[in-house]
Structure 1
């Protein structure tokens, strides 16, 4: 479990260093998780084993089991900024609704594109070729 936590924290640190070095507008931990996903994907491709490495599995399951605790700081921040939210409720509401709708549309398009049967592509190609 210790090695897994070191891997996770190392990825987060690397992401934070990349964010600071290149002045990226994405949070360092998000960059770190993308790097971890990339490393795991490359490992799976190289070894042919797409299972989660044994040390990471218990650490990931432990973090997921306690995920509710990770939302406490965000909730405290919302309560602390209640005055700003009261003043700027309309732009906040529009931004939340707009980003939710945009996320749903993008997710639907990506799922539609990725879950399309492969034989449908062959039919389209044959139909266009003739």
Structure 2
């Protein structure tokens, strides 16, 4: 079943590179896998044990990142403050953009405010 998951990743990678999409291949492969699982629920049940096993050992996938930090320690020492500012700043901007997009979509669809928000406004 791991071969199925890796097959979708390979398909996404090949498609992304062939069409020069600005989307990483593994992300495209995951999107294809989700659609395949929606269309064929038996596929989702078949890969569930393998996916659960991978997720239970997800922390192992962060080991290469830790090795990269140690390998580039000198660069991080000199450029660490700039990197930290960039990461924090981009995170704040991404959250703000998401909130603004949500608000814009809510206004466009003229959706009702949740009751909790209405109650907070009256206090």
- Settle same-fold status: TM greater than 0.5: yes
Give the Cα–Cα distance (whole angstroms) in 1 for the partners of residues 49 and 9 of structure 2: 18
Go from structure 1 to structure 2 and tell me whether the alpha carbon gap of 1:110 and 1:52 turns closer, same or farther (over 3 Å shift).
farther
- List per-residue Cα deviations over 1:53-91 (Å, max 9, x = no partner): 211111111011000111101111111111111222233
Give the Cα–Cα distance (whole angstroms) in 2 for the partners of residues 64 and 106 of structure 1: 29
Please identify runs of 4+ aligned residues in structure 1 that moved more than 4 A: 106-114
Give the Cα–Cα distance (whole angstroms) in 1 for the partners of residues 101 and 2 of structure 2: 32
Asked if 1:16 is matched to 2:7, the reply is no
Asked if the contact 2:8–2:29 (Cα under 8 Å) also holds between the matched residues in 1, the reply is yes
Report the TM-score when normalising by structure 1.
Answer: 0.66
Asked if 1:120 is matched to 2:112, the reply is yes
Shift of 1:106: 4.6
The count of aligned residue pairs is 109
- Structure 2 segments unaligned to the other structure (5+ residues): 114-123
Give the Cα–Cα distance (whole angstroms) in 2 for the partners of residues 109 and 100 of structure 1: 14
Give the Cα–Cα distance (whole angstroms) in 2 for the partners of residues 98 and 52 of structure 1: 40
